[in-house]
Amino acid sequence: AGTAPPTQQIQLRNVGASALSWSSSKTTSDNGDWITVSPASGTTPTNIAIGVNLANLPGQGQTAGTFTGVVSFAHASGTVSI
């Protein structure tokens, strides 16, 4: 069985004085649902965990290859993608 890479922690914040409400979305090159984002929405500032669910990768993580994905964070003024 494969081993998932460590969850990555990021901090989402507003450079301005007020808090921003935000929501996330995710897309992958294979149209899979293997990226995890927790929490999926909220208000800044907040810490977010981004990870990989091996069970949802092709072959449950046993298929060789490079799989890419994008996580986007939307707020009232726009969207930021990582």
pLDDT in tens, 33-56: 999 999 999 999 999 999 999 999
The reply to whether the predicted model has a pTM over 0.75 is: yes
Please, which pLDDT band fits residue 61 given cuts at 50, 70 and 90?
A: confident
- pLDDT for the residue numbered 1: 56
Q: Is the dihedral of CA 39, 41, 44, 50 positive or negative?
A: positive
| Structure tokens that stand for 16 in this block | 């301005």
Report the alpha-carbon distance of residue 79 to residue 58 in Å, rounded: 29
Instruction: Give the start-end residues of each E strand in the chain.
Output: 8-12, 21-28, 35-38, 41-43, 46-52, 69-75, 78-81
